Amino acid sequence: MKFSESDDLVDIRYDNVFKAVFTSNTPESNKALSGLVSTLIKRDVSIVAITANEPPIEDLKDRQIRFDINCIANNGELINVEMCLNPEPFEPVRLEFHAGKLFIGQDIKGKNRDFNDLKEAYQIAILANKRFFADDVVFHTFEYYDAEHNISLNGKSRIITIELSKLDKIIDKSVDDMSPAERWGVFFQYLTDKAKREKINQIIECQEGIAMASEVLNTISKDWEERCYRESILKYELDIQCKETRARREGKLEERQEVINLLKSGKPLEQIIQEYEKQ
């Protein structure tokens, strides 16, 4: 599919939209997630299970929590993927914490099992609006290693980061010269930029996983637009209701104050009642 310049698309960098695209119960969504993960870990895998760790993805309203996608590949590898539009300064150590939890969450108890039965674990973070590392490299893969002697531990846990804010030079490359990972990054960062719509369409045409994500996003965008319209009507109705309620309350307060002023005037009660009834 292709997007026209007039299409108003929801921003996939919002983590609830991101999760809705990649965890919808459709073949397109599964292919999109499998394609994204395969590209980032540089090995073809198929996602066979998604761990339910939050409210249903259909409920896009009133959700302020951070969403992540816990999934299992066909070879048993554990993968956690998350989008963060405005990451906090503590993001790197946060990723280390969750990568550790993901890895040690495996159960190897039982006869004839040992540490070699542990599967690889990947904590993947797509970071939108902040640079964390001083270089201009968009994609980083971190693992345990001896920094002094540059020797890897050859462990099974990895942290992968994608800094979308570093794509300003990559967007000028031709789509053919972009790596598959760079195409995903450009898709995330520039999807709603109508000036870049032609390049987004070129990326969609040449990478299946992104094409599948676009199919799902197109449906979500239409639903989102309809929901925003309904919410605008509700917001208008509530504004009118609140204004009318406030007016009534203020009117009652004014009435009370008038009675109080009449009582303080020292006039006879019968006269006060007559004056009040004339109002």
Residues 143 and 46 in one domain: yes
Same structural domain, 125 and 145 = yes
Is 59 inside a domain boundary? yes
Buried b / exposed e across 255-271, counting CB within 10 Å, b at 16+?
A: eeeeeeebeeeeeeeee
Quick check: is 3 in a domain? Answer: no
Tokens in use for 153? 């531990």
* Phi, psi torsion values for 275, nearest 5 degrees: -65, -35
Do 241 and 178 share a domain, yes or no? no
Provide the domain count of the chain.
Answer: 2
Quote the domain boundaries for residue 168. Answer: 15-224
Q: Which two tokens stand for residue 66?
A: 């951070």
| pLDDT tier, 24 (very low <50, low <70, confident <90, very high otherwise) | confident
Same domain, 114 and 177: yes
pTM: 0.75
Mean pLDDT (whole number) for 51-78? 66
> 151 by DSSP, 3-state: which?
strand
Does 8 map to a domain? Answer: no
Last residue in a domain, options 224, 246, 264: 224
Question: How confident is the prediction for the chain on average, in pLDDT?
Answer: 84
**Residue appearing with tokens 């249903």:** 56
- Are residues 59 and 86 both part of a single domain? yes
Q: Do 202 and 177 meet the contact criterion of CB atoms below 8 Å apart?
A: no
End-to-end CA, the chain = 69
Residue 67 in this model has a pLDDT that exceeds 90:
no
Q: Which residue has the higher pLDDT, 269 or 118?
A: 118
pLDDT surpasses 70 at 186: yes
Domain boundary among the residues 185, 207, 224 is at: 224
Residues 201 and 240 placed together within one structural domain of the fold? no
Task: Identify whether the C-beta of residue 37 lies closer than 8 Å to the C-beta of residue 79.
Answer: yes
Same domain, 19 and 86: yes
pLDDT exceeding 70 applies to what percent of the chain?
76
- Residue 2 inside a domain? The answer is no
Same structural domain, 218 and 237: no
Same structural domain, 159 and 251: no
Same domain for 49 and 182? Answer: yes
Q: What are the pLDDT digits (tens) for 112-126?
A: 899 999 999 999 999
| CA atoms of 23 and 221, how far apart (whole Å) | 15
DSSP of 65-131? SPPEEEEEETTS-EEEEEEESS--TTHHHHHHHHHHHHHHT----STT--GGGPPPEEEEEEE-S--
172 and 266 belong to one structural domain: no
